Structure 1
Amino acid sequence: MDTDNEQQIHYGDDYHYIPATSVASGKGVELQADVYAFTTQIVNLVAIGLPGKDSFVLVDAGMPNSADEILAMTRDRFGPHSRPKAIILTHAHFDHVGGLVDLIREWQVPVYAHTEELPYLTGEKSYPKPDPTVEGGMLAKLSFAFPHEPLKLGSWVHSLPDDGSVPGLPDFRWMHTPGHTPGHVSLFREKDRMLIAGDAFITVRQDQLYSVLTQKMEISGPPRYFTPDWDAAHESVKKLEALRPAFAVTGHGSPVSGEQLMDGLHMLAQRFGELAVPDYGKYARHKH
């Protein structure tokens, strides 16, 4: 990468290491031969491609300061000289783009996100601040310290194709699943009903510190402290439930499959106001 272009990309001004972890940190799970979910501290990313084939696609980019760990994982799985065809973002919250600038500098590959997510990746717009007043546990109370300012990726970031295709992943389609963020997307592969859901729904109560530390399984709505539009979030969950996925990797919590996934996602879609929407908080809506 030339020096001028490298100087144009950087993290948000409030980016910093977050001292939070879980029992899953540094571990990976192979859901299919070509789908590998890996956890950095308290968030998941996904590497899609066959092991040892040098080329793959990375979905999301971990916590702040996680680039070295991500690079080590990809070199171990795909080969010492491996590099992705592209990096796809479900959204641009700090815990999904935490290693992104360093990964671009190392790999020099394009990044793709929904058009409505681009302002948070080009320095134009900050996310709404996290809401530490929201109903929830200790992690929600600590969310005031979470970064929310935009990255500046310059010419490295692009809009996902309008036709629903995913660069580098011909078998996957992307779908717009807003609510947690305006441009949140999820990825789905019809042939094995594999879903990469980002934070449209998750499999742990992300606002509760004990659940995060232990990774206690619970199909839940998006993180309460960072979700401003609960009506859109509910519609997104219903859209994903209608796919009847067989496997799901979410942004937080363990991968889930089979009846546990379908039953849990159905219950969440049917009882979203009760199970997901907080009773109080800056972005909470009246609950019926």
Structure 2
Amino acid sequence: MAELRGRRALVTGARRGIGARIAEELAKAGASVAVCGRNAGDCQAVVDRIASAGGHAFDHRLDMTELEKIGRAVHSAAERLGGLDLIVNNAGTIDPMGAIGALDPLQFHRTMLINVSGAFAVVNAGWTYLRKNRGRVINLSSGAASAPMEGWAAYCSSKAALLMLTRSIAIEGMADDIRAFAFVPGLVDTDMQGAIREANINRVSKVPREDLLPAEKPARMAVWLASGAADGLSGQTVDIRDPQIQALIHNQEHK
């Protein structure tokens, strides 16, 4: 297990699924975690599990659609944590799914707002802390960032933009030792995957639930990225399914 004792982290979209598991694994590794959800109290069950395991975390309201309030929410979390070393932009939406001609432009815009603009606003607000603490940013990416998929115009476009934002963070943060990763967690058994199956819109919809990864696997890899062990991969896409990444982790664990 990577050692994150003394680190301070903020995780968005952490009410359930991958975000919740990342928050729990970060706390297990010793980090203090602001567990963020759209509404106050959304993440209390996650916080309670962390506390029961001896970790430190608190529920924190941060709505990715409220750009004008994100800065205050990030600063408030950082004050309570005593600083900020790590941002995990996990919050995201797959909707709207459908053919381009049938999509509502306002819903398309909302996807970009949550998946890209909101993620930018979180990093923007946390930039001073990240510069001071040689911080790290983990943006939850997807194979959809580089591979278009039928019915996912909004999602694919947003993830492609988030990938470029990640690269920009890595380049601009280099002078202050800020690292940024576009983390692809693979196909994970979450509510989002349930919505994809129900939509029955492309080949990902056909993936049986039993073939999906449990959320704890990408959560553990997120801890690895947060630990500094992968700093040489800053600015890159880090895919949990990549054999080279798996080999790198294996070699580090068995040194």
For this structure pair, what is the TM-score category when the shorter chain's length is used for normalisation?
0.3 to 0.5
Q: Which has the higher helix share?
A: 2
- Which of the pair has the greater relative contact order for Cα pairs under 8 Å at 6+ separation? 2
Name the TM-score, length of structure 2 as normaliser: 0.34
